[in-house]
Each structure stands twice: as structure tokens, then as C-alpha cells.
Structure 1
Amino acid sequence: MKVDYTQIRYELHGRVAIVTLDRPERLNAWTPDMAREFRQAMEHANQDPQVRAIIVIGAGRGFCAGVDMGALEGMTETGKTGSTRFEPLDQDSRADFQHPMTWLPSVSKPVIAAVNGPAAGLGLALLLFCDLRFASRDAAFVTSFSRRGLIAEHGTNWMLTRLVGHSRAIDLMFSSRKVDAEEAYRIGLADRISDPDRLLEEAHAYATDLAENVSPRSLRIMKRQLWDALFVDLAASMEEADREMKLSLQSADFKEGVAHFLEKRPPRFAGS
């Protein structure tokens, strides 16, 4: 079904969906319309069997400058943030992943943030809950909240601590200082760094490798395992792994994984 988006772009390149935040004149500042369209696009990518990986990027020179300041001005009068709950896109996903931004781990396919420029406030929250972060050398990461009289919103304190460690998260939250791509990579906030003109190309090459050479079933289950591991102890993680391994050994993708290796040919994974 074709959707007429106004604040994002949705494109399919091979088996990779590219979702572009598309308000470049405002550094892709977040609005209620953008939030709705972004959710629709991710739902579409999640349901489309052609799509096996997703890239999120910003148009122009910014990734996402956070909530549009016009919206923030309105909130000073109402005191309302518009927070709501979302149905998880993977029905087996935890209830924790049913809030603004935290629903992203419930997408059953790999989600890569291609951070092409400044990411601040809610824009930072968005990329924190993606699975991987590829950063342009022009990228900049800013928490912003303390300099707006706000607090750590949308689970940023929880996720940032797990990526960079407790004291570094305190530093970034308290100071709201700008972190460049090199520092982001060094502290674990970014997973790859690319030259600006190669960011999307390299993110797409990585996503295409996943789409063409990796079992979609394995990715779906492992993604859930890895996000669930943030909540459970080793014993519970082992029990889940034992249960899922038995199911994997009965799957079509396991049979294909063995067959293509023995036959020395590219895989033809069906995702089942």
C-alpha cells in the first residue's frame, strides 16, 4: 500500500529499506507528524517480506535536531509531553519496548542508524534504540536535556548507560556537551565511522550483506535475545537459548545454512 509521506522518505534499495527523516531546513527536527509517519514506515518495513534490514538517516546536513522547538514551546504551557504506549512490532517483544523510541527494538529486523550530522535530544534517543550506529565524521551527539530545563527522556539514561558506561553517561547528561564522531566511536556510542560521502554507501553495504547472506530467522531471534539480555540473568538467558536452539535445528533456514556451505554456493534463506 502506497503512503504519501510529507516529513519522511521511504525507499527500497534491494532488500534494504531506507527511511529518511526529511525536514532538512529544520535539521529534521521531530514533530508529531514525523513521529506518525516514521512509525508507519517502520511498520511497513517490518511487515514487508522483501525487506531484511532497515537504515534510518537524516536529509541534508543533520540527523535529527530533537523535538521541534515550536512543539517544546507549546509544552511549556500544557505541561504535556504527548507520551503514549505503542504495540510492539514483534509480538514476542518485551512490554518494555512499547514506549516512544523504546519500541524500536520490537522491530524484528536489523535497524541501522546512519548518523549523518547533528543528533540531539530526541534525535539521540532515536539512534540509541537502533541496533547499530554508523556515524559520519560530520556527526555530533548531544543529550540537550539539561540545557532546556528537562530530564533524561524516552529511556536515554537507561540506554546511554549501557552503551558508554555509568560515569560517561553522567558526563554527557549533566553537561549536554557536544560529542564528535571520533569520541563517540571511542566511548562506544558509535560502531563505525565513515567519511561523509561514504556513510550511506557503507551502511547500505553492511545492511545488504545481512540481507543476502544471513538467515532472517537467525537475525530475528538473536535480536530479541540480545535486547532481552539487558533485563535477565545468565540462567534465564541460557534457558531461552536452549529452547531457541532446538527450534533452530528444526528450521528451514538451518537446513539451508548447512546446504549452501556444503554446496559452496550463495545462501537462499527463506526466513523460516
Structure 2
Amino acid sequence: MNFTQIELGRFGAQEYVAVVTLMRPDKMNALTKIMETELREAFARLDRDDSVRVIVLTGNGRAFCAGMDIDELEVLPPDDISEMAWMRAYDMNRRADYQSRYSYFPGVRKPIISAINGAAAGLGLVLALYSDMRFASETAVFSTAFAKRGLIAEHGIAWLLPRVVGPGHAADLLLSSRKVSAQEALSMGLVERLFAPDTLLDQTLKYAEDLALNVSPRSIKVIKQQLGESPFQTLTESITQANREMFLSIQSDDFKEGVAHFMERRPARFSGR
């Protein structure tokens, strides 16, 4: 892979934590179709790898991702946006909602944490929003960018952004395309945590390692699925799913280990089964 790098075990968590880095720093990690394909393949590979329990997505250099490369955008054929290759099923056992060009992040069974090291604009912000959590550098800057380019709210962001920051903030960010500081992003709930630029990745990896080592991988997989399904469910449907999953979890090896390590006052040794 030329523009997307996968690094395992960077923080020493026995390769349970994978770091996926966008590697086009001279272009502020602006996306190309090659990068899109590489990123999708990287996530598919990590999803299949049972040794990987948490994924961290970040950018190399001073930006997280500045959106689609403008050179490619200018020559993009009008029908590219609906090309079937981008709508192929990421996994036929997942919701169709999570099988499109960028919405496949929630279909990945491991938590995805975006470590936003710099500018996240346009599609860069879309990638961050489809992640399960967003940790950011105190110097990061955010922008939807679309309206200032004569574009619209792309790739489901009009559905997703109000659920993250609320309808008013979403309308403000989408209509104005203004730049938002990391501090304002934290205050509106666009990101969960802020860190100094030189500690962002280490702090994100510490959190990821805690998930990887101290929480049941099976529980994480099921809870992520529950969170992904809930926006499309009634309360009754959500409760029914939870009851079914609770019955199965009580029979799992991870439940037995969860009780054992608590009673024996020792570190957990979850298997994910």
C-alpha cells in the first residue's frame, strides 16, 4: 500500500491495537481513489484479523485529512458518485446502510478511534464522523467545506452530523462551512477528548490498549452492533435485541472470564469467544 500504512502493536499491546495512517503528508492527506481503495482494504483486513481488537485512524504530518484531492475532484465523472463498485457489500451480514462508499466504518466489528492530528475537512470530517470515537489535537481544525466548494452535504453527513452535535450545530457547520477550533469541537461534542499535539497518538493508544486488554472483545463487537442498529430501531426492537444478546453473552467464555478475573482480583484474559 502506497498511501495507507498499517502498524500493529505500536504501543506494546501484543498487536491487539492497529494504527492505520494516511500517508500523503505533502497533500495534507487529501484522498484519491487509490487511497479510498487502500483504506477500505486495510479495514477489511483488520476486521478479519481476530488478533486485532481496536483500530486507530490518523494522518501523517500536519493534517488528518483535508478532503478529496481537488485535482481528482475536478475531473471526476458525474456518474462516479453512484458507481456500483463503491456500493458493493462490505459484508452481506451487515446493514445495507453500512455498505456504501464511506459508511462501512460502523460495519467493522472492532472500535475505530480517529486520532485527529490536524485539519479534518470535507471527506476528512466524514471519515472522522463515521468512526466510533474522535480524539483530537488541541491544534486540530474542522470544517465541512462542501458549501464553499459549491457542493452539498455528501455521503450521509446530513444524517450523521445532527446525531453527533445536534441539529443546530449541524446546520451551522454545513451551511457556513466555517472553520471550527478543537476547543469549540469539544464543547459541541464533535470530539470526545483533546490532547497536546505531541501526546495525541500516545494518549489515544493508551485508551485503545485499555479497551484491547481489559474489555471483552465479544462484548465490544456486540455493543458496537447494537449502537449501529439503534438509530433504525424502535425501543421495543432495541430491547428485544438486547435480551437476545444478553442470553448469548451469559453462555460465552468471555462472561465466565469476566466473573473469574473479578473474583480472583487479577488482570482479564479475554478470548473473544
Q: Distance in 1 between matches of 2:161 and 2:137?
A: 19
Q: CA deviation at 1:167?
A: 1.2
Q: Which residue of 1 aligns with 2:89?
A: 87
Q: Does 1:197 align with 2:198?
A: yes
Q: Which runs of structure 2 are paired with 1:129-168 in the superposition (5 Å)?
A: 129-168=130-169
Post-superposition Cα deviations, 1:141-179, rounded to whole Å, max 9, x if no partner, equal: 100110111111111111101001111101100000001
* Matched residue SS, 2:64: coil
Q: Distance in 2 between matches of 1:140 and 1:157?
A: 20
Q: Which residue of 1 aligns with 2:179?
A: 178
Q: Distance in 2 between matches of 1:86 and 1:212?
A: 34
* Matched residue SS, 1:154: coil
Q: Distance in 2 between matches of 1:195 and 1:81?
A: 39
Q: Which residue of 1 aligns with 2:111?
A: 110
Matched AA of 1:178: K
Q: Which residue of 1 aligns with 2:12?
A: none
Matched AA of 2:239: M
* Matched residue SS, 1:119: strand
Q: Distance in 1 between matches of 2:263 and 2:78?
A: 62
Matched AA of 2:87: R
Instruction: Give the root-mean-square deviation of aligned CA atoms.
Output: 1.0
Q: CA deviation at 1:87?
A: 2.1
Matched AA of 1:226: L
Structure 1 segments (4+ residues) deviating >6 Å: none
Q: Which residue of 2 aligns with 1:211?
A: 212
Structure 1 gap ranges (5+): none
Q: CA deviation at 1:230?
A: 1.2
Q: CA deviation at 1:44?
A: 1.3
Structure 2 gap ranges (5+): 10-14
Q: Distance in 2 between matches of 1:212 and 1:179?
A: 34
Aligned pair count reads 265
Matched AA of 1:225: Q
Matched AA of 1:10: I
Q: Which residue of 2 aligns with 1:19?
A: 20
Q: CA deviation at 1:80?
A: 3.0
* Matched residue SS, 1:105: helix
Q: Which residue of 2 aligns with 1:228?
A: 229
Q: Which residue of 1 aligns with 2:239?
A: 238
Q: Normalized against structure 2, the TM-score is what? A: 0.95
Which segment is superposed worse, 224-233 or 127-136? 224-233
Q: Which residue of 2 aligns with 1:249?
A: 250
Give yes or no for contact 1:137–1:194 (8 Å, CA) kept in 2.
yes
Q: CA deviation at 1:43?
A: 1.1
Q: CA deviation at 1:81?
A: 3.4
Q: Distance in 1 between matches of 2:155 and 2:204?
A: 25
Q: CA deviation at 1:52?
A: 0.5
Q: Which runs of structure 2 are paired with 1:52-91 in the superposition (5 Å)?
A: 52-75=53-76, 78-83=77-82, 84-89=86-91, 91=92
Matched AA of 1:127: A
Q: Distance in 1 between matches of 2:230 and 2:186?
A: 23
Q: Percent identity?
A: 49
Q: Which residue of 2 aligns with 1:41?
A: 42
Q: Which residue of 2 aligns with 1:125?
A: 126
